[in-house]
Amino acid sequence: SDCWPVDNIHSNHRFVASYEEAVGLALRSGVDLDCGNTFQDFGRLAYDESLLDEDDIDEALSRLFRVLMDLGYFDETDEPDAKSSDDEMEHDQLALEAALQSIVLLKNGINEDEPGPLPLSLAKHKEIALFGPLADNQTVLLGNYHGLPSTIVTPLMGLAKMGVEVAFRQRASVCDFHGESATILVVGLDQSLEAEDQDRTTLLLPVEQRDLIKTISRCSKVRDLPVVLVVVSGGMVDLSRYKNSSDIDAMIHMSYPGQNGGSALAQVLYGAYNPSGKLVGTMYPESYLNEVSLHDMRMRPD
């Protein structure tokens, strides 16, 4: 099960009158394993009250042990366990491919009459300015409920691996350029802003990121530098102001891309991979929050 659903059958949903009834109902309905402690705390009481019997328990145990045997849990083997397999080359390549396929190109060019800056060229854009709190943040790339890879490639690391000379500033309150030929901003959300039990109250980027984008994009335009905005998030973000802004030349969205997210981004930016991902949700404007009630379960505007 997911965590605490057997408990919820009684405590929140009030579908049955007691926890032991919840245990009996769940087990007899095919829930063999409880993520929680309701089975442990009330299983014996459910048995004593004849809400389940030995046959029910045996059937659940048989299915659980069958899965363990199918997975080789009881086999004698010299093979490494699942934790160490994260480092295998084929898995690393799979992580890269997944990140590449998930990247979405949202904008490339101010208008249809002018070509956009992407892909960048190593000949023309060998030196770039990189800004943003997510440009060299390893943890944010993994999202949540993740394994622990031995190597996590950030956008800064991925660009450097491609041979790009990167001038990195995580934050900047003034224009600080020294001959770079393009600007890349990497912003977005993290688990402090969106997570289980951590709902957002706005569709906008954090205010300090919006200020950073405004400052750096305008400084870049004064120097005639193309500006690429990269947004990393799991949930949808209102990006309408950047889609319509002449200060932003191109825009990319990455869901939390995993251990090779930085390598994937670098390949997309410099044309080694053609982005073809699609958004997993609709990016509504911030005004949507005021137009549609959160209690409207149709979850869509009229």
**What residues act catalytically?**
2
- DSSP lists the bridge partners of residue 104 as 253
| Contact (Cβ atoms closer than 8 angstroms) between residue 9 and residue 16 | yes
Q: What are the backbone dihedrals phi and psi of residue 166, each rounded to the nearest 5 degrees, phi first?
A: -110, 125
Please give the Cα distance from 292 to 30 (Å, whole number): 39
- Residue type at 160? A
3-state secondary structure (DSSP) of residue 86: helix
Please give the Cα distance from 50 to 28 (Å, whole number): 12
- Residue type at 264? A
- The 10 Å CB-count burial string (b at 16+, else e) for 127-151 is ebbbbbbbbbbeebbbbeeeeebee
